Each structure stands twice: as structure tokens, then as C-alpha cells.
């Protein structure tokens, strides 16, 4: 009986051991599947950023861009809604209302500032169209700088007291929000109203801005507090927050909300000489951000910016830009045309081509010309962006 009892005990031990091995095997398989899935997802959320603040596009043109992105297996179109020239969306918070505007040939214009903007109804229609194409439409409300267009709108709506309380004139970057609790409260309200128009999508992102606002080369605690508060607020609405890389200082990386995904466009915000070298010492690199656990987007302004002008839309110039990008860029190339130490897509969520309207020269170019000129550049980019490294 004792012998038989020992055998039973041994069988039980073997059974437990086999069960344990099976469970561990399943667990390790799940880990490998998750890792493989994560690796497959890295670099796949790619798209187009459109500067609709400094150039008004007809809604049908934006739909054409959405269709182009979808046809080339892209995932998003980002709308840069605010800048020095205009605030391009209906918004009660800043007084951009249809009651204070006139619609002519489908275009809404503020009666006092004459800025063209998109109504909430037009945005809703664009979001519906984008969802049909499985494209995420991302709003960008750029603060604390690039707000002169917004200020014009507020001033036209007699919000002068708020302007004086919340903003100041930065000698380098124009009007900016103070990095204060009052500004945080106001911008939260502003962002929430915009977010309502872009809700109900898959993969919802909201770009909080944060470019070209500072000459800081030391830890900027007020900005960190400001950005983290806005990020927390927009996350509560179901959006993934994004921000430009300008405000990320190497020495303070443990203080930023890690849920913010960083759109990396330039190491020094194009500052040259001694100021540029100071920024290189202080501002975080894209590899550094990845190493600290941040997720990033590659917005390399050397290869991926399409700046509108009569010269740049000429077919030979578009061909040169497209071939240069094809031969020399991949999602790890983040610092102008310099080589990169990155050798994988780890924590690179995706990349974006950007069509900017910085110069007045774009005003003589029509929407169809821009669609045609950028088509090959955009399709080549979206092909490059999703390739494995």
C-alpha cells in the first residue's frame, strides 16, 4: 500500500509539473505574440498634416487628401487649426461663431477679422467621411504660442480683458499664453470644445501644440505643469495627447506625462549658430526620448515638409524632393539629413508629411494644383514610412 501511495504521489507531482510547464509555455507565447504585435504596430500610424490655419482648403479638397491617405494605407490627417494668421474653426470660447460670420460659396468668414474658418457642421461632415475611409482626423490647437489669429478673433469679440489677463507679447514669438493656472483653465475649455467635434473616432489623438514658444535651455517647470494639465484634460475626453518636441528638456524628462506622444520636427527649432548649439546641449533628442519611454512621431522638417510656393510645386522640384526622401529617409532619420543611431522602430508610433503655408506665395496657388503637386510626394512617403527597418 505504501508503494502504491508513493506512485500516486509521484504521478500527482508529474501532473502538476506538466501543467506548470504548459502554463509557462502559454504565458511565454503570449508575451512573444504581444511583442511581435507591438513591433508590427511600431511605425504604422502614418499620415498627413495640413496647415489649414494659414491656408483655407475647401472641405472637398480635405476629403480628397483624406482619400489619398487612405488609398496609400495611411492612418490619419492632422488639421493645424491655429496660427498667427487665423483660427480656423467655429468656437464659442474665442467668439468664432456663425452669428458673427457670413457664408459665401460655402466658406464661412468672420465678419470682423475676415478669417475663413470651418463650421462645426463642416468638421462633423469631414469626421464622418474620414471614418468611412478608416482615417483618424486629428485636431491641432497650437498653444502657448502661434495664437495671434486666435487673439484677433477674441479681440473682435470684445474679449480684451481676457487677452490682457491670459497673454503677453513675446519678443521672439509674438503673442503667447502665460503659463498660469488661469491660462490652463481657459485652454482646457477651448480644447474641450474642439474635441467634441472630433470625438467618436477610432485612435483619437489631439495635438496640443508646443512649438516655437521658448528660448529656454533649462528645465521649464511652468511649461511642464501647463502641458501635463492639458494632456490630462484631453485624455479624460478619450484622446491621446500629442505635443511638438520643442519644450522637452533632457534634464527634466522624468517630469513630463509619458502618455503624451511627441511629434519630433527639429532638434533646435531651426535655430543656428551659438543659440542652436545651446539648444542641442539642452533639448532632448528623439533617441533620448525613446530611451526614456516616450512614444514619438517622426515629422523631420528636412525631408517631410512640403512648403507651398510657386517654385516648390513645379514638377521637377517635387520630383527632386520625392527622390531625395526615397533615397535618404526612413522613420529613424530624425535630425535633418544627418545619420541616426536608431536601428529599429521601437516607440516610433509613425511619421507625417506636412504641407505648410508659411509664405504668402501660396495664395496664388489653387487647391487642385496643391493636390496634384503633392500626390506623388505623399504616396512615396506613405510607402516608405510603413516599411520595416
Exposure of 389 in the CB half-sphere (CA atoms within 13 A): 20
212 in catalytic set: yes
Distance (Å) of CA 172 to CA 80, 168, 198? 21, 12, 32
Residue 298 burial by CB count (10 A; 0-12/13-18/19+): exposed, middle or buried?
A: buried
Which of 90, 176, 212, 242 is catalytic? The answer is: 212
Number of separate helices (H) and strands (E) present in the chain:
11, 14
- Alpha-carbon Rg for the chain, nearest whole angstrom, is 24
Helix (H) or strand (E) holding 207: strand 205-209
Backbone angles phi, psi at 242, to 5 degrees: -130, 155
Closest CA to 372 of 323, 308, 326: 308
Closest CA to 301 of 328, 273, 337, 330: 337
Rounded Cα distance between 249 and 218, Å, is 7
Among all residues, which ones are annotated catalytic?
212
Amino acid at each position: 500500500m505504501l508503494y502504491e501511495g508513493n506512485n500516486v504521489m509521484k504521478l500527482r507531482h508529474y501532473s502538476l509539473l506538466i501543467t506548470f510547464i504548459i502554463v509557462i509555455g502559454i504565458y511565454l507565447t503570449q508575451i512573444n505574440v504581444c511583442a511581435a504585435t507591438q513591433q508590427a504596430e511600431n511605425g504604422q500610424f502614418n499620415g498627413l498634416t495640413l496647415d489649414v490655419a494659414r491656408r483655407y482648403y475647401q472641405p472637398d479638397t480635405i476629403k480628397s487628401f483624406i482619400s489619398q491617405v487612405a488609398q496609400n494605407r495611411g492612418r490619419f490627417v492632422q488639421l493645424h487649426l491655429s496660427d498667427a494668421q487665423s483660427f480656423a474653426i467655429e468656437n464659442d470660447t474665442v467668439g468664432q461663431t456663425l452669428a458673427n460670420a457670413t457664408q459665401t460659396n460655402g466658406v464661412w468668414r468672420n465678419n470682423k477679422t475676415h478669417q475663413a474658418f470651418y463650421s462645426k457642421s463642416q468638421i462633423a461632415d469631414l469626421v464622418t467621411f474620414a471614418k468611412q475611409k478608416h482615417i483618424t482626423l486629428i485636431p491641432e490647437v497650437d498653444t502657448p504660442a502661434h495664437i495671434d489669429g486666435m487673439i484677433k478673433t477674441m479681440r473682435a469679440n470684445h474679449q480684451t480683458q481676457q487677452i490682457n489677463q491670459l497673454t503677453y507679447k513675446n519678443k521672439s514669438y509674438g503673442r503667447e499664453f502665460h503659463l498660469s493656472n488661469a491660462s490652463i483653465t481657459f485652454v482646457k475649455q477651448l480644447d474641450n470644445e474642439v474635441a467634441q467635434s472630433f470625438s467618436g473616432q477610432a485612435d483619437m489623438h489631439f495635438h496640443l501644440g508646443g512649438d516655437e514658444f521658448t528660448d529656454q535651455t533649462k528645465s521649464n517647470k511652468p511649461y511642464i505643469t501647463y502641458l501635463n494639465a492639458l494632456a490630462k484634460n484631453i485624455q479624460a475626453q478619450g484622446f491621446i495627447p500629442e505635443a511638438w518636441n520643442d519644450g522637452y528638456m533632457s534634464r527634466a524628462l522624468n517630469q513630463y506625462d509619458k502618455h503624451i506622444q511627441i511629434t519630433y520636427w527639429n532638434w533646435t527649432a531651426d535655430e543656428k549658430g551659438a543659440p542652436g548649439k545651446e539648444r542641442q546641449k539642452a533639448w532632448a533628442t528623439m533617441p533620448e526620448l525613446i530611451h526614456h519611454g516616450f512614444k514619438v512621431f517622426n515629422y523631420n522638417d528636412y525631408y517631410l515638409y512640403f512648403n507651398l510656393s510657386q517654385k516648390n510645386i513645379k514638377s521637377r522640384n517635387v520630383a527632386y524632393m520625392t527622390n531625395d526622401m526615397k533615397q535618404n529617409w526612413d522613420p529613424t532619420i530624425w535630425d535633418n539629413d544627418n545619420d541616426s543611431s536608431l536601428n529599429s522602430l521601437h516607440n516610433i508610433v509613425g511619421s507625417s508629411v506636412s504641407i505648410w503655408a508659411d509664405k504668402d506665395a501660396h495664395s496664388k496657388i489653387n487647391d487642385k494644383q496643391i493636390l496634384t503637386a503633392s500626390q506623388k510626394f505623399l504616396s512615396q512617403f506613405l510607402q516608405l514610412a510603413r516599411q520595416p527597418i
